[in-house]
Every structure is written in structure tokens, then in C-alpha cells.
Amino acid sequence: METRQRMLAAALRLFAERGFYGASMDQIARELDLTKQALIHHFGTKEKLYGAVLVAISERLMTEAIQPTEVESASAFADAVSRIYLRTLQHREDTLLLMRELLDNRRRAAQAGTWYLKPFLDGLADLLRRDPNWQEEDEGSIFTHVYQVLGAINYFAVSTATLENMYSVEHVEAMQECFPERLRKLAMAGVDT
């Protein structure tokens, strides 16, 4: 059991860092001081290992990201967004892998079982729907707003390493400091401005 968790952790790291094709079973196994056959023994195939990693991520996301008993307030959505932002930074590897999955998905898109994000998105949309400022808005508008805010978070979370090299560590730290406040303004961005 212990081993299985270690395997999932190592696989997450390498898949997140190098992508599905970029990471080989052998590399993952070596990271654990095992042979790739140990991995195959536990998960069958590379695809299934990858799937198990995705399942683990989505479980974490569901149990941690959205509290179902969200307090109903005018800023409920903005509050949830703040929490999601913090969580995204903490689980950067999850974020990286989900981003990669988003890119790769379009090929095997027809396959089922890949909508790990759907309940999450729906939950956020629900939160926004209950906001008095948003009750007159149509569905498309609500989902669009949710997605734009999520995009702002995830894109940044995935970019910090590049930004640090493009500018400097201090520059990125300055951005990180401003981020929550500006994110809040995005989340609140007016319905009737």
C-alpha cells in the first residue's frame, strides 16, 4: 500500500514535469529505486498508471477545493476563488498535470471518464448563480466568468517558473503579492458596469 502511494507520487511528478510521452516507465521506476516491472505489476499499463494519477488528483480537488457548505454571502464566489488560488499554488504539480491533460484531451476527447473538472466547474457556477448580482445573468455569462477567473489562476500558476527566468524572482514575488487582491477584483468584475 505504501509503495502504491509512492508510485503515484513519483508518477505525478514526472508526468507533470515532462508530460505523458515525455516520462517513461523506466524513469518513474528509477525514481523509486524499483524496476518498471514493479509499476506494471501494480498498474498494468502506463495508461492505467496515468489514469490512476488523474483519479487521485480529481479526488483531492473535489474534497479540498469546494466546501459544499459554503456560506451564502455576497462574496461567496470571490471567497471560493481565493481559496482555490491558494490551493492551486500549493498543489502546483496537480495544476501542471491538469493543464497538460487539458491540452492532450482534445485527441482522446470522445473517451469518457475524463471530466474530472466538471463537478468542480459546476460547483463554482452554482456559487456564482446564487450571488444576488448574478441572478439575472444567463448561463453562458456565468460559465464564462467562472472560466475566465479559473484561467487567470491556472495560467499564472503554471507560468511562474518561466516568468522567473524571463524577468526575475523578485519580479514574480511582486506579482504573487499583488495576485490575490487583483484576483478578487477580477472575480467581482461588475455585472452592470
Partner DNA sequence: ATAGCGGCCTACCAATTGGTAAGGAGCCAA
Partner DNA sequence: TTGGCTCCTTACCAATTGGTAGGCCGCTAT
Residues 6+ apart with CB under 8 A from 138: none
Task: Provide the binding-site residues for a copy of itself, judged by CB under 8 A.
Answer: 17-22, 96, 99-100, 102-107, 109-110, 114-115, 117-118, 121, 138-141, 143-145, 147-156, 158-159, 161-166, 171, 174-175, 177-179, 182-183, 185-186, 188-190, 193
What is the total count of residues that contact DNA (CB under 7 A)? 20
- Confirm or reject binding of residue 40 to DNA (CB under 7 A): yes
Question: Residue 7 and residue 135: Cα distance in Å, rounded?
Answer: 46
- Confirm or reject binding of residue 162 to DNA (CB under 7 A): no
Quickly tell me which residue has 498498474 as its cell. 43
Of the residues 9, 38, 117, 163, which one makes contact with DNA according to CB under 7 A: 38
Closest to a copy of itself by CB, 90 vs 165, is: 165
Closest to DNA by CB, 17 vs 72, is: 17
Query: Is the distance from CB of 11 to CB of 22 less than 8 angstroms?
Result: no
User: Nine-digit cell at 29?
Assistant: 521506476
Question: Residue 39 and residue 178: Cα distance in Å, rounded?
Answer: 43
If DSSP codes are grouped into helix, strand and coil, which group holds residue 171?
Answer: helix
Closest to DNA by CB, 34 vs 56, is: 34
